[in-house]
Amino acid sequence: MPEFSDHDALADPLEGLDPRDADAACRLLEEAATANREASCRAGSVDLIEPRGVLIATGDLHDNPLHFARVLRLARLTDATPPAPRHVTLHEVIHGVAPAGVDLSHRALLRVAAVKRRYPEQAHTLLANHELAQIVGAGIVKDGVRVVDAFNEGVERVFGDAAGRVLRAIGTFIRSMPLALIARLGDGRGVLCAHSLPSPGVMGRFDPGVLERDLTEADYEPRTGSAHLMVWGRGQTPEQLGVLAERWGVSLFVLGHQHAEAGWDLLPPNGLILNSDHARGVVATVDLADPPAPADLAAALIPIGQSV
């Protein structure tokens, strides 16, 4: 199990980019959106990859730059080869701790965009509820802060009169994000990584076929759209997880969204919840050719928390 220090970060993905340059930020976000849409693994609203190689699966990151750097170090995307690919999931990267109410977590989104642009087939930028909130205007309050407003104010503070253009480019990038990453082995075995799954009470309104088609604006609509229902879901039941696993041809769900004090929690019978943002945060390393059974998931976890 690796041990980390504060000096373990890889080079900043934004190295060489002026963080106040609106033109550069917009170009990066738009090119990352193109990488999301045009990656050869993209199929409908998911990234569908071959069941081989290693996946570093994350939970919510919430603008924790040290943990983000540790995730990239573990992912070792530059070490990938065609016979042994390496993948990483990234989601819920914005809306971290905002000192004095100033949220500059758009920089975290720019870092994710830079990684996606460089590794379009290996970095999987999954849609999460906080990113979705930025394009539908949902009123999330975190630690007394209206995070969507604070995020927008941070963009305005940095980019001034060009803020509107940058926010539109952010929206383009968010709309390009897949809902899930799937690696299927066949015979009902495989892994599905997503920010969350629908709550049991909304399954009657949820379209499970959403993963097999492109997303529409209706899918993002609060409380009715299937993308919205999926990324906001909580409290999934064993029966529901069994139904969705059979429908989507997988045997393991790796999710975020729900708080896990220890950095992880099991969601019986086939779900794993990860948190990667707090002091006990973890990631999971998954052999895609032989994903762990639920009883063996603890052995796949790697702590990245600041207490390490």
Share of the chain above pLDDT 70, in %: 93
Q: What is the spatial distance between Cα 195 and Cα 283, in angstroms, rounded to a whole number?
A: 14
- Cα-Cα-Cα-Cα dihedral of 146, 148, 149, 153, to 10°? 130
In terms of pLDDT, which residue wins out, 8 or 227? 227
pLDDT over threshold 50, residue 294: yes
Weakest-pLDDT range from 7-11, 131-135, 290-294: 7-11
Least-confidence region, from 92-101, 120-129, 188-197, 202-211? 92-101
pLDDT at 236: 97
Confidence of residue 77 (pLDDT cuts 50, 70, 90): very high
How far apart, in Å, are the Cα atoms of 289 and each of 68, 218, 253, 286? 25, 36, 15, 9
Over residues 1-40, the pLDDT tens digits come to 444 444 444 678 988 889 899 999 999 999 999 999 999 9
Pairing of strands 145-146, 180-186: unpaired
Average pLDDT, the chain: 92
At 151, is the pLDDT very low, low, confident or very high (cuts 50, 70, 90)? very high
Separation between Cα atoms, residue 274 and residue 270, nearest integer Å: 13
Domain boundaries, the chain: 22-303
Residue-level pLDDT at 5:
43
pLDDT on residue 241: 98
In 39-78, which residue ranges form alpha helices assigned H by DSSP?
A: 65-75
Residue 161 has pLDDT above 90, yes or no: yes
Higher per-residue confidence, 98 vs 170: 170
Rg (CA), the chain: 18
Q: Predicted confidence band at 227 (pLDDT cuts at 50, 70, 90)?
A: very high
Encoded tokens for 114: 């830079």
Please determine, for residue 307, whether its predicted confidence score (pLDDT) is greater than 80.
no
In the DSSP assignment, the letter for residue 308 is -
Residue 135 contacts by C-beta under 8 Å, 6 or more apart in sequence? 171, 174, 175, 220
User: What share of the chain in percent tops pLDDT 90?
Assistant: 82
- Return the pLDDT at 10: 60
Task: Supply the pLDDT for residue 7.
Answer: 42
Q: What is the mean pLDDT of residues 98-112?
A: 87
CATH class, domain 22-303, is alpha beta
Say if CB 282 and CB 301 are below 8 A apart. Answer: yes
The arithmetic mean of pLDDT across residues 66-70, rounded, is 95
